[in-house]
Chain A
Amino acid sequence: MKAWLTALTVLLCSGLALALGGAMLALPEFAVRLPAQVTANLDTSGVSHPVTAVLLNFRGYDTLLEVAVLLLALLGVFALSRHADEHAPRATPAHPVLQTLARLLAPLMVLVAGYLLWVGAHAPGGAFQAGAVLAAAGVLLRLAGLLPAWAQPGRLLRGGLALGLLVFLAVAVAGLPQGSLLHYPVSMAGALILLVEAGLTLSIGLTLAGLYLASAGAKR
């Protein structure tokens, strides 16, 4: 690339940063107090941790669509990596120390994921963090050569991938007769959120692990 073009790009990007910073410093006071609104409505959300309340109750749409996006991305990765994996050799067994460590850590990580899922109702934690820990366990097992690559996921695995989205959709639609989509009755909100989060944890964990297992490590 020409040197003057590079210099111009750097100059323009620096200008953008300065303009953004200047705009931030010139911002007026808040017109709407979102934290106060969240606190005021926390009692009706079914959980006592505000971030979980926003994620799964007040702004459930975001989370619902996000899970769909995650699933679509995995489908894209599957579609791209399919033909290359037909003759992929079996994973070479890793060092025995790594294998032993993975065998010890994986159940512990599943336990941590369960804890994070449960604690999400009233403290930092929840489906995303729990799913991430589950996925990390999957990646670790793959690195230790204890899991095969996912060239063609079976029915059970596909069901697990879709479970979170399906449970979430079912709960969202079930509220439709009483009010609107994603409207939980106050008395059942806590239980419904836990149900949705349990499904999400499994599906997010499988999907994130699948993003690694489907493409990465398929050819080695």
Chain B
Amino acid sequence: MTPALAFDLLLIAALLWSAARALTIADVFHAVVLFIVFGLLMALAWARLGAPDIALAEAAIGAGLTGALLLDAVGHLRARQREPEQ
């Protein structure tokens, strides 16, 4: 097995694991963090596929901006849950 193939297989395993965990883990905040990890791994995968343009966009948009939006939504959700029931 060449090092490149080993890296590809490891990266794919990490991608699938982070995706599956992001959808099954109990806490929503953890899920969002795992999703951001997934986005960064996707950026690596794009670099491996010879697509630096997509890697740049994925790191900035897929992981960064989407992550900021999702984290803010989690914060809003938590603040709402902490409020007493009307």
Contacts and interface: CB of A to CB of B under 8 A. Distances in A.
A/B contact in complex, CB under 8 angstroms: yes
Contact of A129 (B53, B68, B72): B53
A124 B65 contact: no
A211 interface: yes
Interface residues of A, number: 21
Contacts of A74: none
B79 to A, nearest CB: 8
Chain A interface mostly helix, strand, loop or mixed? helix
Interface stretch (A59-67, A99-107, A133-141, A160-168): A133-141
Contacts of B60: 129, 132-133, 136
Contacts, number: 49
A125 interface: yes
A118 interface: no
A116 B60 CA distance: 13
A212 B57 contact: no
A129 B65 contact: no
B69 A129 contact: no
Given A129-B60, A136-B64, A212 B72 contact: yes
B14 to A, nearest CB: 18
Nearest to A139: B68
B53 A51 contact: yes
13 contacts: A125-B53, A125-B56, A128-B61, A132-B60, A132-B64, A139-B68, A208-B65, A212-B68, A212-B69, A216-B68, A216-B69, A216-B72, A216-B76
Interface of A: 51, 116, 124-126, 128-129, 132-133, 135-136, 139, 143, 208, 211-212, 215-217, 219-220
